[in-house]
Structures are given as structure tokens and as C-alpha cells.
Amino acid sequence: MAELRWNPLIKDWVMIASHRQNRPQMPKDWCPFCPGSGKVPEHYEVYKYDNDFPALSQDPPVPDDVATDIYKTREAYGKCEVILYSPEHTVTLPELPVDHIKKLVDLWTERFVEMKKDEKIKYVFIFENRGEVVGVTMPHPHGQIYGYSFIPKKLELELEACKEHYDTKHSCLICDMIKDEMEFGKRIIIENEDFIAFLPFFSEYPYGMYIASKKHKQNLTQFSDSEKYNLAKIIKETAGTMDALFDYPFPYMMCMHQDPVNSGDFSEYYHFHIEFFPPMRSAEKQKFNASSETGAWAHCNPTAPEEKAEELREAYKRFLSK
């Protein structure tokens, strides 16, 4: 079964993909993403791989006959791709040279452009899940791209907030957030000519950094080569900073927020940024999303962002000194 089902309580689509439950557990001595597997080229640097068990498809099955007046269904239309960061099975993102990560940024850009050619796709979501704590079963360095036939609820809420701010203040909300963060200074972790990495004023997670473009741009296609290089550099340094916190590969979810595609013009009020969701609150303790966060979306960060930002800046110095 693969279909979309409508949740009328929050007005959002849920992907039902029961076929993914039967994904095989990969043998410990074989990896489909490694050269020699027969699944990928013998030689590559970064590589796009179509997901073997996609939640969304450009040739989706007809939904089950279970819809009612309030319970709507829809075809699970879209695309799911895996983006391989390197042919090396055990390398981590912070260990890759910036020039190599720049090739990854170029591939993300290429796939963004290619996916948006399908007018049924409304949002291209680039992300990475890292670490067993967030459910990763494949250690080979990789991320994913989902092309949705709808704008997911969180992105919809962000867009609405940015539009409301623009209509009231005649400025971009995220530009104004960056201005506030740079004026305050104490939550900024990393900065280069084109991007900043900071722990937001409202961070839900103790180490939940954001990366944002200093210039008002909406997606990867608008960045120059030098900006893409600086994006690669700050992604490497942000992930490396988290690794340096407790001297082990830090688990996280990395989520790239860009403007929707085939859905209108958002250029006046939306702004490119990346959000990190690292689930650890200390070296050994995980921050679980309990009833308040999960059931009410009422998030509670057990730490002060200003204190954790200082801790992250010290970790950044340790990463640079390696």
C-alpha cells in the first residue's frame, strides 16, 4: 500500500507506505552504495540513487477504497531519491574536504532543478538522517530528497508566518531574524561571507543549530559558485562542531528549507535556511519528544540557548584545531 491520507484535524497529508515495512535488513558485509555492489558505478564522487523503497512514486498505485466524506485519500505521487556523499563506506560529512562537499551542493542543486520540472511536485525537500538514534540502518554516508505533491504542514506554517510578517513589516522575517541574531551575537556559532550558523532564540533542541543565507535568496539555484563553496564549508563546520562536542559522530536530522516549486512566487518573503535537529542533550542522554512536544506541539528545551551556544563555539574551536 502506498497512498496519501488526509488528517482533517490539522489539515495535512500523511504518507501511508506499508511496503516500506518489509525493507530487508542489509547484510553486515555488503552495502549497495559501495563500489563493487553492482548497484552503483565503480567510480563516483557523489551520486544520485533512486530509492529502492520509495514512499512516493511518479507512477503511484490507485489508493485503497477506504475514503469517506471526511477521510480523503490521494495518490502518493512524488519522487524519492538517495544522495550518496562519497564512495567511502565509513567517511563522515565533516571528514570530507570542502571541495568534495561543494560537489554535493552542486548535485543537490541539479536534483532540485530536475525535480521541479515535474509540475505535480510542489515541494523539494533535501535532508539527511544521521545515526542509529534517529533510525538510520545504513551507515554509508548519504542523504535523501523527497519531491512532494503537496506543501508539508511545517513548511506551510513557515510560509504563512513569513507572508504575515512581510505584509505587516514590509521585510523578510528570516532576514530580520538574522539581523537580530547578529546584533545580539551570543547565539552565533560560525560565520563566513555568505552564511551564518546560529542557535536560534527559540531553539527546541539543546544543540539545534540553523544555517541561513545572509542574502535574501530562496533556493540553491540562486547561489553563485562562491556562495555554494561557502555553504559547503559551513555545513562541514556545523556537523564537525557537533561531532567535537563529545568527541563522537553526533546524530542529527538536517533539513533544508527552500521555497516551494510550481506553487507561485515566494521570493519577496521566503528565505533559504537549514535546520538541524540533534536528539542528544548530553554525551549520554537523549532528548525525547514526550507528550507535550508530540501531542501538543508545545516544545520544551531543558537548556538555555545562550549557554549552549557558548558550548558550541568551544566545540567549533576544537574542530578547527584538529
Instruction: Return the active site residues.
Output: 142
Residue that has been written with the C-alpha cell 540553491 in this structure? 220
CA distance 163 to 180: 19
Sheet holding 12-17, edge to edge: 12-17, 2-7, 73-75
Burial of 263 (0-12, 13-18, 19+ CB in 10 A): middle
Element (H, E) at 146: strand 142-148
Sheet holding 195-198, edge to edge: 47-50, 78-84, 142-148, 123-130, 252-257, 273-277, 210-213, 195-198, 188-191
Question: What are the CA-CA distances from residue 149 to residues 102, 125, 127, 143, 167 (Å)?
Answer: 28, 11, 17, 20, 27
HSE, CB side, 13 Å, CA atoms: give it for residue 236.
23
What lies within 8 Å, CB to CB, of 150 at 6+ separation is 4, 13, 122, 123
